[in-house]
Amino acid sequence: MPGGGDAGQDQRRIALKTPYSGRSQGRREAWGVIETVLEEILKRERNKLAEKLAQKVSVSLPPEAYDAEEQLTFLARRVHDQPMGTSTRVKLPAPDQAQYQAMVKQYLGDHPFVRQGKPSNAVLGSLILAHAVMNDLLNGANMGLLADLSRQPFLWRSMRKHLGAEAVLLDGRYVGYILNSYWNDPIVKRGQVIVRSSEEGAAVVQMPVDTGKEEAPKELNTKVALPIHFHGQLRDADVEVRGDVALIGQGSPGGASSFFVYGKTAIVGGAVEVSADTLTIDGAFWLEAETVTSSARLALHVKKGAEVGWGGAVSSSYPWNGLPSTLRPPYAVQPPNVLAALLNECGLRLPDRVLVINDDYTFSPSENQWVARNFAKEFPELLKLLRKHGLVRADGFGTYAQNKFRLHMETKWSDLQEALHRVPSDARIRTFLEEARRVFRV
């Protein structure tokens, strides 16, 4: 068979190295070994096909021919029982293109990552699905396989190296699967996941991470397109978006579906839809929305010691209004370090390029309501300090009755956040922080 001979050996190597035990650092190193093994298998499969194909075509093969991206794209279609389709990356003369497609179909039939049309194991399936999610290849596909793989940590681990890049914009439908896998990973750094609207139709998901390296970032910030779907669970999450949110239960096909909320969790959104038969609350859960919909048979289970709070339309909607609200709104309490909290919110919500504000350093009432609600006094002071220390540049525009500023950022919000923990090399940031700490009494 074209890809045969080594498939069983490959799967044994991967299974033996799957990091289910040991300390966190050892597990991280073991996962790094697995990723290297998988990359080598994909290279080997490419070389096998390329050596034979090169003898049958009239031109030199492009480097994209059956490379890792090509293989994973075709495998994603195969495990979802979709037509193989054609390559959009490999450009060859028509007869050579037909020969390439024929050989790809032949070699996919015995690819070591797939057995009888399904992923050979959870690690290999997660690599395929991670590629599909990052490239939005699952339109029209059944999400059952993705849901199953999200029960294990390998989907998150396969995606981690892709998340956080500035060019990445994920479809919000996938967020819940990634987070479900993230929360099911025993080596993940425990902390609060924060989701904030960043611009029209988009949000930023901030996930705490621990690489074991002191100099590495402590969180990943990934931009996603709204609406956002959460799948199976929410755990220590703070969600506030100007858009729609869905809570989708997890269960066996044809059976009851369940959604779980753990720890200190809050959702503030536009329209919230709960697609589950049961919702279990084990912690402190605040839910606020302009509209909320759910199945008429949705059952709420509140664990002993758990607390709930309802805002907006939730407080008057069934079945939520059957449970008395015992929590105050989460945004009513400001963190003790206002400067750190404000810089963190700015990093999640605001661009690193240009801000358009009123001449008194405020936003219009309809814009960025989080500022008026949580940092009405602090935000203008922050902008004034940034301008004073040369970290923003202001251009005035507008009419006599309504003057505005364009504030051009001369630094990044992430650099300002990082400077709270390490002495910055930029003297402007150092003097800004010295004065900001006095102003905000940090």
Q: In the chain, where are the structural domains located?
A: 7-119, 164-332, 338-439
Q: Cα–Cα distance between 374 and 360 in angstroms, integer?
A: 17
Angle at 35 (CA atoms; ends 146, 140), nearest 5 degrees? 20
Per-residue pLDDT tens, the chain, 442 aa: give them.
454 445 555 554 454 344 443 455 666 778 889 999 999 999 999 999 999 999 999 999 999 999 999 999 999 999 999 999 999 999 999 999 999 999 999 999 999 999 999 999 999 999 999 999 999 999 889 999 999 999 999 999 999 999 988 889 999 999 999 999 999 998 887 789 999 998 889 999 999 987 555 554 578 999 999 999 999 999 999 999 989 999 999 987 778 999 999 999 999 999 999 999 999 999 999 999 999 999 889 999 999 999 999 999 999 999 999 999 999 998 776 667 899 999 989 998 888 889 888 888 888 766 777 888 889 899 999 999 999 999 999 988 866 556 888 999 999 999 999 999 889 999 999 999 999 999 998 7
- The values of phi and psi at residue 421, to 5°, are -115, -20
Model confidence, pTM: 0.82
Q: Burial letters for 102-122: b for 16+ Cβ neighbours within 10 Å, e otherwise?
A: ebbeebbeebbbbeeeebbeb
Q: Supply the pLDDT for residue 24.
A: 59
Q: Which helix (H) or strand (E) is 236 found in, with range?
A: none
Contact 392, 409 (CB under 8 A): yes
Arithmetic mean of pLDDT over the chain: 89
| CA nearest neighbour of 420 among 336, 339, 352, 347 | 339
Largest distance between two CA atoms of the chain: 78
Contact 432, 389 (CB under 8 A): yes
Using one digit for the tens of pLDDT, what is the confidence trace for 6-54?
555 555 445 434 444 345 566 677 888 999 999 999 999 999 999 999 9
Q: Cα–Cα distance between 395 and 207 in angstroms, integer?
A: 35
Please list the residues that pair with 219 across neighbouring strands: 208
Question: In this structure, which amino acid lies at residue 266?
Answer: A
- Rg, Å, the chain Cα set: 25
Please give the C-alpha separations between residue 295 and each of 137, 244, 308, 404, in angstroms, as whole numbers. 30, 17, 20, 47
| CA nearest neighbour of 177 among 201, 205, 208, 198 | 205
Please give the share of the chain, as a percent, with pLDDT higher than 90: 70
Tokens of 45: 């499969």
